[in-house]
Structure 1
Amino acid sequence: MSYSDSLDLAISNVKQQTTLMQRCLQHGRLMDALKHSSALLTELRNPHLLPKQYYELYILVFDALSALSAYLVDSGNVSGDNNGSDASASASAAAAATHLADLYELVQYAGNVVPRLYLMITVGTSYLRVPGAPREEILKDMLEMCRGVQNPMRGLFLRYYLSQRTKQLLVEGDTPEALEFNCQFLIANFIEMNKMWVRLQHQGPLREREQRAKERRELQILVGAQIVRLSQLVDNNVEIYAAEILPVVLAQVVQCRDVLCQEYLYDVVCQVFPDEFHLRTLDTLLQTTLQLNAQTSVARIVLTLVDRLNGYVQRLRDNDSDAHIPATVFDTFWEHLTKLNEERPDLGLMEITGIVRGLMTLSLTWYPDNLQNIDKLLGLAAQKCNDEGGAERDPESVPRLVELLAAPDASEGEVDARNDAQQISHNLASATYYYGVITQCPSFIELLVLLDAGAQVKVVARIIECFVSVQAEKPATLQIESKDQLERLLRVVEPLVKSGAKQDTVTGQLAQEQLAKFCHLIAACLPASREYSTVEKRMEALLMLKNVYHRGGRGIRHTYPAIITCMWREIRRCAVYEVRIRGKRDYYRNLNKQTFKYVARCISDLFNVCCGASSDGSSSAAATDLVYKLNLASAALADELSLEEIAYNFFSEAFAVFEDSLSDARSQWQALVSMAQTLQKTRSLHVENYYSNLAVRTTLHGSKLLRKQDQCRAVYACSHLWWATEIAAIGEEEGRTETFFREGKRVLECLQRSLRAADSLMDNVESCELMVEILNVCLYYFIHGEEQTTHVGVGYINGLIELVKTNLRSLQMEQEQEQEQANANGNGATVAPRYVMALDGTYVQVPESNNASSAATQTKLKDISINEMVRVPVEHFQRTCTYIENQRDIDARFQTVVL
């Protein structure tokens, strides 16, 4: 009888023959049932079925033969369930044994080998249930007879059927002999199945090789099931596993020379046998990988084993068990990796780094305090990278190398799923790891410098971010205990310094940001260290940091301000010590003076490097503005500490920058306003005419600005330099403090000079607006001082008001003329927008409602009508007049002001 032409017909035939077989069994016609069984088994001879189709058919056949096996068992009552006497039971068992023995011989005469062997196994396994049956002979016979099928697909499923049927029927007993026989039986079946599975790749034409590989993956579970059976059989007997099972399995792995087989069987061995078995045979498992096919992924095999052993330790810790950690586990892996690198020079950087990554995880899991293991692994990765010409030769390996340096544990991708407490704990562990590796593993730097700039920045930025987050949560976590540790930390950021010099790239900008964070991080860590518990030592550390950052070229524009800020912090600490420790006041004062010299040096370096000729003019201008403001801030700090000479020097440097490097008119005006604001708050410069000299110099520069409107505003702003106001933070109070620096004549001179500048403007609208601004300043002095001291009296204010009125009348004449023209053109009914005048003379439209956009739109002068321009000083003057009227109820002097 032949097989069907299609799967559907085969399934239909199997179901039909199964039904006929069951009917025959119900009527006790065993021979007819065997005939129908042989007929349905014929469908398994079809050589055209795909693995999935064959498996579907096999399941139907298995169920049908299970019914036949159940009948054979029940008909012979071989289960031992007999209510008669012992003699009767023995006789029944003997008769059943004889019957099944004869039947076992009979089915072997079936016409086709596939039906014959399936029936033989079915009857033979039923025979094994009879007490006293010759188990070993029957098992050996069935195993040997299966050799009759050499077709890979049919033979694989036949032996899988043998394995399933004999699952509970091997030789009984716990004796070594029984265990050895059972193991040999399963091993022999596994060997043959594996050979057939490997031979499947050679079926069909070469163009279908990929399809064959896919089919083999679908069938691999049949082979793996045999190893699972072996693991269940040996239980915890590691001796027989090491002596009988593992050598045979590994021999098959090596001999087959098949990549799919080698990778799969290694994976199965690692997964199904206990962890203790792997620890006992670790050296054997690893040494065998040296004999595998060159295309087999050794990294995948080793990482599978590593993951299993890591899980073993983690499970013990989770169960609060005493984890016995062998001291040689890492050494065994390390020896294997070293030998693998020597004997397999064909293994690329990707393969080696993959194994290194896994062993780093293993070392951190098994020996978290032993960072020398990490140093070895990183050193090997660096050596391999060098041997292959650097990471540039193999760009695909760069992410792996970054992982080696920047990912201390295998759960990095799960960080986002953690709660806050877990996140903090994770960051703390990561920071501790990073700090230990950086300060104790020289190979870390060796590997880091082999990466490209972008990868280096990525690694170091991640480390710095981790340090910063931990420092914010637990400030005392990171402690720099020695100069050597600090030098190692500084070596790590050197790649960032080089990348930071490329300011026009995203990498450069990220590098600069991280370097600034790093500076503040170091400064925050230093006070908690015994080595850097003094101001001198901390300043020494900051100078070391400065020397490293100096290599960043123009990048110091973004990094030096952080260093200067940290130096300011040390200056303030030193000032506190000066007050508290009486016996060392001179010492700390001199130390502060020296620190200010360091600050001056940093600012000077910034100017020399960043404020010279540059292709990027805006960058140079921004750096110049930064240098100017740093000088002003340093001067303010020195004045606060009553270091008048140092403050004067910083102000002088600021003026030098202003005179030599600030050429833009707008920048000059803003710089003078900043100077006036800073200078007006100083209190220690009133010796040796320091303050007067600086105030005169500021006013003089203001009067020399290019644009008249800038001159006007700068000079009336400088008038405040001659009229000090209270600073509550230092205990000053108006009316009680008698040491205010005030010279009313100079105030009036500044106001008069600014008025002359305003009056000389050709633009009548802007001139009138400036006069209103000067009027407001005059009212300020009129309120906050007497006429005898400020020299700004009612007469001067009335004269200024009259001058404003006169100018406004002339402007309103222009406004009326334009309105008449607008009416004549028919567009006089439109509502004109409202404008105000900005400090640079431009007009800014005021939003019409509170819901309008807060970003005012500046409009060019030519787009605004005279009518709208005139409204600016008019409305401003009206607000001022309203203020004066309101003040009359408070201050009687305002009664004499004529509006």
Structure 2
Amino acid sequence: MSYSETVEQAISNIKQQTVLMQRSLNNKKLMDALKYTSTMLTELRNPKLLPKQYYELYIQIFDSLTILSAYLVENHSNGHHLAALYELVQYAGNVVPRLYLMITVGTSYLKIPNSPREEILRDMIEMCRGVQNPIRGLFLRYYLSQRTKQLLLPIEQKDSIEFNSQFIITNFIEMNKLWVRLQHQGPLRERDQRTKERKELQILVGSQLVRLSQIVDDNLTLYEEEILPILLEQIVQCRDVVCQEYLYDVICQVFPDEFHLKTLDALLDTSLQLNMEVSVTKIILTLCERLNGYIERIRQNQSEDNDQNPIKEDILERFWKHLLKLNDERPDLSIQELSGIILSIMNLSLIWYPTNIQNLNKLFGLVTQKCKDFGEERTQDSESFMVKLLTAHDLDGVKNYKKYFFDIITQCDSFQDLLSIQNSLSQMDVLTLIINCFLGNDTDKKSESQILISTKTQLERFLIILEPMITIKTLTPPPDKNTNEIKEYNAQLSREYLLSVHQEKLAKMCHFLIQNIDKTQFKTVESQLELLLMIKNVYHKGGKNIRFTYPTIVTNFWRMIRKCNIFKVKIPKRKQYYENLMKQIFKYISRCINDMFNNCGNVCMDLIYKLNLQSAALADQLSLVEISYDFFSEAFSVFEESLSDSRTQFQALIFMAQTLQKTRSLYKEDYYNQLIVRTTLHGSKLLKKEDQCRAVYVCSHLWWATEISSIGEEEGETTNFVRDGKRVLECLQRSLRAADSRMDNVESCELMVEILNVCLYYFVHGDEQTTHVGISYINGLIELIKNNLKSLRLEGEQRISEMNVNNGDSNNVNNSANGSIANKDKYVMGLDGTYIKLRNINNSSSAHIDFKIKDMNINDMIQIPVEHFDRTCEYIINQRDIDNRFKMVEL
């Protein structure tokens, strides 16, 4: 008998022989049926079959043999005694058909009452040794396992569990040997192919352990004393990587968690004896996952009123000892592997002992030492593992990330040590995730408990963790024009944005820390101020980076000053104390601003200027006159010494005027008058005439204060306003002179219209005797504007005429000059002198704006002051119904 050449032929032959076998069985011709069965089984002798092909044939043959087995059991008492038949089939010519037939007849005999079960089982498993070909032997023993699944010794029989488990273990050992032997079949170049085939067959071996777990059930003593030692011995002795990894995983998966808890030491010790190429990380991970699942189920089954702790032994200590032993015996173990193991153990610790942070501290310490041992030999992969470790990536045990990181940062010295030896990018990744966690960017706030800083030590540890992000270097230009340095500089330009993002997070973190101070521990403003000073001192290490973070410090100083002012009112007995404390805090603010000046220079002069003004305004609100004046003086010093750009100077003076106009306490000792005169003087000295004009007419409001309703002032009832109409008129006249001297007629006329609007403001809010801005002055200004607009129209007509003559077109001259041509685009002039186009303002609720229009038609430019003046005239006409004085304004 021979096997078929192809799988298709083999399948066809099996089907044909199966039909012949069934026909013979129907005709009670058992010998013929056995002959056809033997022919069919010959197909399993083909050495060219791949595992998948062999399995396909095996399934079909298994179904056919099931038919034969059913017939044998049914006809046992009708002349086909299975004991005799069991002896008969052992004379088959080929060993593979012989053993399949023997197992089929033998397992059929086991179904007969009073059959010699133990003798038959031992005989079958011994006879299977006759096939040593790996694939044939594996499937033969798998067939034995399937046929005997429900036919082992009954449970009620004495020593049945021991015998049944021993039977399965023996079959498992032989199958494992065959499986390992498969790796060494064929030429060396096909080794990878053999490995692939072995992984396809591993389920056959693993099925034996599944059967074993079913036999053992809950017999821990049998498992611990007899079964597990044999299994672990087989794993260690085979020295095969694929085998050891798979079988260790199967043991962890198929046996109960309680068994693993009791035999943990044996499992961990065995992992140290495995092949050096075996992934210990995977083994520990699987074991930890099973134990974590066990404790979760235990806790779920506990009743709500049961306070008993289900953990009776410290399994983490056993893992820790294993980890130390592993590190000693395997000093070459990579950081990736060690980090993976520690991640698993960390998760175990967080689930079993969520309140014991020192367990994590020990684990971080071990990784830190490992990183130091490897030094610069660490790879990029190891750095990514470090980020996962430090950020609790993929750890199921972390239920409250804010609480986790807070406890880690404030209680684990090793965490900071490990973070400090990582590269800059890794540190930024870790800190970014931690800060996002605290700021609530990646967690559900409803599930997070509030974090409170109750001691200075906690804050100090927190700030130490943030130092890598605080001290990250800013981008500086190369000192010379070396090509390589310039390329490197350009390559780093994209990091400037990232730098500002990091500093923004630090600024937000400052607010978070101050807002989460435990008020029961830090009851006084002074104690809270001490914590803010700690943050300031650490942020100072950032050097030039303080331009991003110090404004936050200053803002919190302002908040504490306002808090002191509230307490000063509520507690009159301590009024002097809080006044002194406010003055001290203002000194801290001044120190912060000076630090920004010394470290950052011209980069943040505009910011320094504004911080001085805002601090001055706050001091004025609190009636701290001297302090307010000092901050205003500092702002002027910055303006005079550091703000050189004309546009920046103009904006700075506008901001100064806005701030001064709201002050009140500076009226004392003539400070206010000194400051507004200085402001106006600077405005009149700006480089550009248009800036001079606008700055001076804005400064006119400094001599005509308006009420601030938030502090209880009301128009007509509050009498302590600074209002000097004579000075107002002087400012307007000086502004008008600057506008008239502007060489650009369009802009000069536009400035005059703006001045007219300011004059109308004073006309509405006062009378001529107080404001000195009367009807005659307004009428004169209107007449001047009209004359200038007339000149602009004539200029426009002349230019358009010249353009049309050059183009050979003399039509539409008057229409073009008068702006009668349909044009949906409208233009206005901004306060900084730039032209602004408003597109489709008639067809859209919100106009599209284009800034800084450079190329404009002369007619469009003329229309700007014309339309502005028309709107002003319309306002005057409307006011005549309200105020009779406007009827004397000549339009």
What letter matches 2:674 in structure 1?
Answer: N
Q: Are the aligned partners of 2:347 and 2:396 in contact in 1 as well (CA < 8 Å)?
A: no
Unpaired runs of 5+ in structure 1?
78-91, 413-425, 613-619
Select the residue among 498, 502, 526 that pairs with 1:536.
Answer: 526
Select the residue among 448, 454, 463 that pairs with 2:419.
Answer: 448
Alignment TM-score, normalising by the size of structure 1 = 0.93
What letter matches 1:352 in structure 2?
Answer: L
Change (3 A) 1:432 1:502: farther
Spell out the pairing of 1:440-589 with structure 2 (5 A cutoff). Answer: 440-469=411-440, 477-499=450-472, 501-502=474-475, 505=495, 506-526=497-517, 528-589=518-579
Report deviation, 1:476.
7.7
Q: Are the aligned partners of 2:284 and 2:341 in contact in 1 as well (CA < 8 Å)?
A: yes
What letter matches 2:388 in structure 1?
Answer: E
Report deviation, 1:852.
8.5
What letter matches 1:459 in structure 2?
Answer: V
Deviations 1:708-728 (A, max 9, x none): 110000000000000000100
1:267 is aligned to 2:249: yes
What letter matches 1:397 in structure 2?
Answer: S
Select the residue among 871, 874, 882 that pairs with 1:882.
Answer: 874
Change (3 A) 1:179 1:461: same
Select the residue among 277, 283, 295 that pairs with 2:265.
Answer: 283
Report deviation, 1:878.
1.5
Q: Are the aligned partners of 1:500 and 1:512 in contact in 2 as well (CA < 8 Å)?
A: no
1:56 is aligned to 2:56: yes
1:600 is aligned to 2:590: yes
Q: Which moved more, 1:643-652 or 1:310-319?
A: 310-319
What letter matches 1:603 in structure 2?
Answer: I
Change (3 A) 1:570 1:835: same
Instruction: Give the 3-state SS of the residue equivalent to 1:64 in structure 2.
Output: helix
Q: Distance in 1 between matches of 2:830 and 2:701?
A: 21
Q: Which moved more, 1:472-481 or 1:333-342?
A: 472-481
Q: Distance in 2 between matches of 1:835 and 1:596?
A: 46
Q: Are the aligned partners of 2:840 and 2:848 in contact in 1 as well (CA < 8 Å)?
A: no
Select the residue among 354, 357, 372 that pairs with 2:358.
Answer: 372
Q: Distance in 1 between matches of 2:607 and 2:157?
A: 88
1:155 is aligned to 2:137: yes
Change (3 A) 1:147 1:869: same
Spell out the pairing of 1:544-693 with structure 2 (5 A cutoff). Answer: 544-612=534-602, 620=603, 623-693=604-674
Q: Are the aligned partners of 2:500 and 2:548 in contact in 1 as well (CA < 8 Å)?
A: no
Q: Distance in 2 between matches of 1:804 and 1:285?
A: 98
Instruction: Give the 3-state SS of the residue equivalent to 2:668 in structure 1.
Output: coil
Report deviation, 1:182.
1.4
Q: Are the aligned partners of 1:512 and 1:558 in contact in 2 as well (CA < 8 Å)?
A: yes
Aligned position for 1:42: 42
Aligned position for 2:76: 76
What letter matches 1:680 in structure 2?
Answer: Q
Q: Are the aligned partners of 1:501 and 1:552 in contact in 2 as well (CA < 8 Å)?
A: no
Select the residue among 676, 698, 703 that pairs with 1:722.
Answer: 703
Aligned position for 2:116: 134
Aligned position for 2:18: 18
What letter matches 1:343 in structure 2?
Answer: E
Spell out the pairing of 1:250-329 with structure 2 (5 A cutoff). Answer: 250-320=232-302, 324-329=310-315
What letter matches 1:465 in structure 2?
Answer: N
Change (3 A) 1:438 1:858: closer
1:385 is aligned to 2:371: yes
Superposed CA RMSD: 1.9
Q: Distance in 2 between matches of 1:511 and 1:794?
A: 59
Q: Distance in 2 between matches of 1:342 and 1:174?
A: 49
Select the residue among 328, 348, 365 that pairs with 1:362.
Answer: 348
Deviations 1:652-709 (A, max 9, x none): 1110110010000000000000000000000100111110000000000000000011
Q: Are the aligned partners of 2:707 and 2:714 in contact in 1 as well (CA < 8 Å)?
A: yes
Aligned position for 1:844: 836
Q: Distance in 2 between matches of 1:155 and 1:843?
A: 92
Q: Which moved more, 1:328-337 or 1:317-326?
A: 317-326
What letter matches 1:331 in structure 2?
Answer: E
What letter matches 2:224 in structure 1?
Answer: A
Q: Are the aligned partners of 2:561 and 2:585 in contact in 1 as well (CA < 8 Å)?
A: yes
Report deviation, 1:892.
1.3
Spell out the pairing of 1:707-746 with structure 2 (5 A cutoff). Answer: 707-746=688-727
Report deviation, 1:543.
1.1
Deviations 1:832-860 (A, max 9, x none): 54321222323222212343974422455
Q: Are the aligned partners of 1:113 and 1:149 in contact in 2 as well (CA < 8 Å)?
A: yes
Deviations 1:343-378 (A, max 9, x none): 011210000000000001000111111111111111
Q: Distance in 2 between matches of 1:102 and 1:228?
A: 34
Q: Are the aligned partners of 1:471 and 1:477 in contact in 2 as well (CA < 8 Å)?
A: no
Q: Distance in 2 between matches of 1:187 and 1:858?
A: 85
What letter matches 1:521 in structure 2?
Answer: F
What letter matches 1:194 in structure 2?
Answer: N
Q: Distance in 2 between matches of 1:733 and 1:262?
A: 89
What letter matches 2:103 in structure 1?
Answer: I
Aligned position for 1:184: 166
Q: Are the aligned partners of 1:502 and 1:555 in contact in 2 as well (CA < 8 Å)?
A: no
Instruction: Give the 3-state SS of the residue equivalent to 2:828 in structure 1.
Output: strand
Q: Distance in 2 between matches of 1:796 and 1:575?
A: 47
1:406 is aligned to 2:384: no
Change (3 A) 1:292 1:513: same
Q: Are the aligned partners of 1:406 and 1:459 in contact in 2 as well (CA < 8 Å)?
A: yes
Aligned position for 1:345: 331
Deviations 1:374-406 (A, max 9, x none): 11111111111111115x721101222111111
Report deviation, 1:7.
0.6
Q: Distance in 2 between matches of 1:150 and 1:42?
A: 16
What letter matches 1:499 in structure 2?
Answer: I
What letter matches 2:392 in structure 1?
Answer: A
Q: Are the aligned partners of 1:818 and 1:867 in contact in 2 as well (CA < 8 Å)?
A: no
Aligned position for 1:418: none
Q: Distance in 2 between matches of 1:45 and 1:22?
A: 23
**Count of residue pairs brought into register by the alignment:** 855
Deviations 1:260-295 (A, max 9, x none): 000000110000000000001000000001110000
Q: Distance in 2 between matches of 1:607 and 1:327?
A: 60
What letter matches 1:555 in structure 2?
Answer: N
Deviations 1:297-338 (A, max 9, x none): 011011011111111122233344677223321111111111
Instruction: Give the 3-state SS of the residue equivalent to 2:666 in structure 1.
Output: coil
Change (3 A) 1:703 1:476: farther
1:760 is aligned to 2:752: no
Q: Distance in 2 between matches of 1:692 and 1:445?
A: 56
Q: Are the aligned partners of 1:520 and 1:562 in contact in 2 as well (CA < 8 Å)?
A: yes
Q: Are the aligned partners of 2:539 and 2:549 in contact in 1 as well (CA < 8 Å)?
A: yes
How many percent of aligned residue pairs carry the same amino acid? Answer: 62
Aligned position for 1:896: 888
Q: Are the aligned partners of 1:499 and 1:511 in contact in 2 as well (CA < 8 Å)?
A: no
Q: Distance in 1 between matches of 2:847 and 2:513?
A: 41
Aligned position for 2:402: 431
